[in-house]
Structure 1
């Protein structure tokens, strides 16, 4: 009897991460990554086969303790992240450090810890990047900087891990209707309408496409953009 594949999803308690959990729930045992153990337990209780993977990903000891309980891993999905915006002239060193720690360093650290399990399973690494991983503009230097770097990380990892049978995908959604998007609109001083932006479940379907790619193929990079079509 073939064991059910295991997927670890960071940022799984809300937004895109939660949508990915819902999408994969029917076919995978899920390790739900995040900092709030109670919130993760609540999500896990609503899914067929899931458990919390509670850890502050910037804390090496917490990550090591959480990873020690992972016996098998078929898919690692990096969905956790933070959004910081502002002019370069006003951004503090702490803001830069925090953004890179969450959006890049934590991704690299968790991936490194889990590569032995992923290699053993012939698994996959999937990062939720952004359209900001391809272009930047006024007030987006700090966020785009982390996402450009994340794209470089996934490109390098993909080439390094081919010999071990690990496939690496980078998903680049444009603006998605999440709490983060609502907060961004408030910062920009613009009215927010969720209907104008990509639904989280659509990003989850893109992840499903990458997960379901057969062994001879890889969804290396996939970009999803808002259509701009009025739904009113």
Structure 2
């Protein structure tokens, strides 16, 4: 039998994927018992997962009803892109400046992203991409920076990620992950700054257009 923690993480990944991808539109109500029944588990891990999502602002609790998916605005998305680029450029430049070592764990995580893209599983892509970037930025040895970056990523609406254009962008991101490892290893600070900027910013037009369509 899986532990409550493992089940919570499974529910968290699935619900976050539905919300940030736009599959669960703003205003959608998630009832704890209904989600537990759908996923074939007790209510405890579901409640814990939804409470975690409420802490990031993706959902809000409703008394005696469950949790409501919150809306995002184009300005919210623009601000998130701007701040992510500033912070992630700083993190990766710091890593490249000191020189990345022990790259095997990162290569394995990049392989996981590639596998998710190959299988066409968007939920797996979102989760494996998150793990790769968390492991990479943590090499800057600044826990506050890592928490801030990952908090921004967790709250970011990835509308359009399942569209044909989104799937194409996922495929393009695979080689970029391996390139980040290479550039950080060879201490190419300017090149890695340009790469992570492009890696993040290339999603902006797609996601902004998808968000406006939902409005």
Task: Identify, as 1 or 2, the structure richer in strand.
Answer: 1
TM-score, normalized by the shorter chain, greater than 0.5: no
Smaller-chain TM-score bracket: under 0.3
Give the TM-score normalised by the residue count of structure 2.
0.23
